[in-house]
Structure 1
Amino acid sequence: MTLPVFADVDTGVDDAMALVYLLASADADLVGIASTAGNVDVHQVCRNNLGLMELCRVDVPVSKGAEQPLRTPLRTAEDTHGPQGLGYATLPATDRQPTSHDSAEAWVRAAHAHPGELVAIAVGPLTNLALALRREPALPRLLRRLVIMGGAFDYRGNTTPVAEWNVSVDPEAASEVFNSWNKAWEGEAPKHLPIVLGLNITEDIAMTPALLARLATEAGSTSTPMSEHDERGRRSTASNPLIAVLEDAMRFYFEFHFDDGEGYLAHLHDPLAAAVALDPDLVRCRAAAMDVELTGTLTRGMTIADWSNRWGREPNALIGVGVDPQVFFDRFITRVGAFARRLGSHS
């Protein structure tokens, strides 16, 4: 069965790889992309999304979202993702344009176009989704499934000691999204809860040069050897155009993680969310009431899961607590490799 999928992204190296995974998946029909300000500003996110659609030769509507978080100034992460958000990669020029409606409207339209069937991922700050919920409070009832990459549960943050990037950029939006879920069911038990994948699980999905070389082989492409000893910014020599873009993006990501003391690897937070949207059985989850700290001097943006029901609230999320990285990477490499091979055969 092919699932209609809607993706809200702040593209971003790992966002780009998540979009490619969805395009490579026969069980996914990507019906829309919402651009969110986060890793880079929203105009650059739109350019990245449109350029990626050009590279992949697909026509998926791309919408522009809010330029700022709900209440605070925007912070971006060019140090992590590069000046344009895709590391050293260069996307093809395109005359494609965003839709005439904004990302919040794109959320609502997609949900109404596929009531009860739409699978959605939100892998950037949750600004657009919060605005969409304000316009259509019944949105949770219209979705088949929602997977959110955000937060950190019983785990350190990557932006502050306790806060994960996506939630930290717009904690008010994250709080609105999580607290609006059960309200949408008007006293009924929710038929489904959002699946929330925090750093505690996404950092288990570590791309390495060896795995990237496996992807190139699967695509029938030459690959570019990579190590921490390489000259910074060395460009890909891969024969396949998609593999070349992914290698150039990943090299920057490897270098960032290496400089951050993580090793010469890169965490693929967002592709995991894309894979789980299509197959929730990839992760083990626990239901819990969760919330976002908004006022703490040291803890703003922290996500808290009430595992012991101290608050006495009903669960509003299924929180990811376990994943098998090998299963994920086998699927990712098989799908994206075959997709890149098909693209390369038509270049």
Structure 2
Amino acid sequence: MLTSRRRFIGALSVGTASALLPATTFASIGKADPVKRIILDSDTATDDALAVLMAVTSPKLKVEAITITCGNVGFDQQTKNALYTIQLAGKNGQVPVFQGSARPLVRQVHGNATYVHGSDGMSNSFFPDPQQKPEKEHAVDAIIRLVDKYPNEITIVAIGPLTNVALALLREPSIAKKVKELYFMGGFYKFYGNINPGATYNAWVDPEAARVVFQSGIPITTVGFDVSVKSSVFTDDDYAKVEKLGTKYADFFMKINRIRRKYCKEHQKMNGSNHPDAITIAAVIDPSIVSLSVSRFVDIETRGELTLGALAIDELGVWGKPPNATICVEADEAKFKKMVFDTLKMS
């Protein structure tokens, strides 16, 4: 059944509200939502960097850790990209970065996606080395420690392959019941893949890891490639508006998207660049950005010759299993873009 997350806001006078609402309900009106504790698991390149910037500058999030997973470009380079973005945001020493697994669970390293992100993962911007260094603790240990420290409070936001999360679950299965929720940037709903016709990059890089996570029992929300294509594309007009902002964040956005912008236009038939990682973190910051979703049972294809890494969504319930994922179907493009512009205006 399709479910909508559109909020209904009733307009009541103070006198009417105090007469009709319980005291506890009335007292809660106007209170800010509690700050969410998150672990951001990332293979930091262009779009991941925007997501990192949005996360560490959001007053609605407390980024307990950024954990680096295998993925877009060289492992150490991904780490530097995350650290540089933290430094750009003025958060040196406030957001720890932990290196995780530099390879998938059982497969060889797939290569890289420098054709999308440039050799440095940042559209060949070659930023200086960041001042902050990665922590000595392994990312998998950090995930387990933080989930144990804050049971039922941690949201894991996985915007890269799921290797680190799977390793944490394999080492300490009990954390599955302690993770509040997991947002995964991957898959699609009645759309098409960007790495093969049935799969998207993050699940394809390490399908075995994705399967471990989806079978773990953690409440999962997916924000897929389809949503990013429909609701996160920055057009030439959007880029012109960003350039006019004249801030250091806007300059950063323009630099890191040079190669990605061209790739999306020439090879993915978009009228600009999509930002799947950014719209995923946006949905964590403001869940109302997800305007339509479905609950389904999802498994991962690990042996398909043509569809490796596909999220197999049981649309008709033929497997007879209860849903294990909430799949974002539609998102509010205007809300997303406003959030990005509000972030880029900050500096």
TM-score, normalised relative to structure 2: 0.85
How far residue 29 of structure 1 moved from its aligned partner, in angstroms, is: 1.4
2:297 to 289, 293, 297: 289
Aligned residues: 309
CA distance in 1, matches of 2:217, 2:268: 37
1:33 to 2:66 alignment:
yes
Residue 278 of structure 2 corresponds to 271
The one-letter code matched in structure 2 to 1:202 is S
1:74 to 86, 95, 109: 109
Residue 322 of structure 2 corresponds to 314
Q: What are the superposed Cα offsets for residues 141-170 of structure 1, whole Å, 9 maximum, x if unpaired?
A: 222221100112322110112110001110
Residue 255 of structure 1 corresponds to 262
How far residue 56 of structure 1 moved from its aligned partner, in angstroms, is: 1.6
Residue 341 of structure 2 corresponds to 333
Contact 2:249 2:344 in 1 (8 A): no
1:23 to 2:60 alignment:
no
How far residue 199 of structure 1 moved from its aligned partner, in angstroms, is: 1.4
The one-letter code matched in structure 1 to 2:233 is A
Contact 1:164 1:301 in 2 (8 A): yes
How far residue 270 of structure 1 moved from its aligned partner, in angstroms, is: 0.3
Residue 3 of structure 2 corresponds to none
Contact 1:8 1:35 in 2 (8 A): yes
* Structure 2, unaligned runs of 5 or more: 1-33
1:106 to 139, 142, 146: 142
TM-score, normalised relative to structure 1: 0.85
Residue 303 of structure 1 corresponds to 311
CA distance in 2, matches of 1:316, 1:261: 30
1:5 to 2:38 alignment:
yes
CA distance in 2, matches of 1:138, 1:212: 45
How far residue 313 of structure 1 moved from its aligned partner, in angstroms, is: 0.8
Matches within 5 A, 1:32-51: 32-51=65-84
Residue 65 of structure 1 corresponds to 100
2:252 to 230, 245, 250: 245
Q: What are the superposed Cα offsets for residues 275-304 of structure 1, whole Å, 9 maximum, x if unpaired?
A: 111222221211110011111221211111
How far residue 9 of structure 1 moved from its aligned partner, in angstroms, is: 0.4
The one-letter code matched in structure 1 to 2:60 is D
How far residue 261 of structure 1 moved from its aligned partner, in angstroms, is: 4.5
Larger radius of gyration: 2
Residue 238 of structure 2 corresponds to 211
CA distance in 1, matches of 2:83, 2:141: 18
RMSD: 1.6
Contact 1:120 1:277 in 2 (8 A): no
Matches within 5 A, 1:153-232: 153-181=189-217, 193-204=219-230, 205-217=232-244, 220-221=245-246
How far residue 243 of structure 1 moved from its aligned partner, in angstroms, is: 2.0
Contact 2:293 2:329 in 1 (8 A): yes
Q: What are the superposed Cα offsets for residues 88-126 of structure 1, whole Å, 9 maximum, x if unpaired?
A: 333333232211111111211221222222222001000
Contact 2:99 2:139 in 1 (8 A): yes
Contact 2:162 2:209 in 1 (8 A): yes
How far residue 195 of structure 1 moved from its aligned partner, in angstroms, is: 0.4
Matches within 5 A, 1:141-152: 141-152=177-188
The one-letter code matched in structure 1 to 2:74 is D
- Change over 3 Å in CA distance of 1:210–1:101 after alignment to 2: same
Residue 138 of structure 1 corresponds to 174
Report sequence identity in percent: 29
Contact 1:216 1:337 in 2 (8 A): no
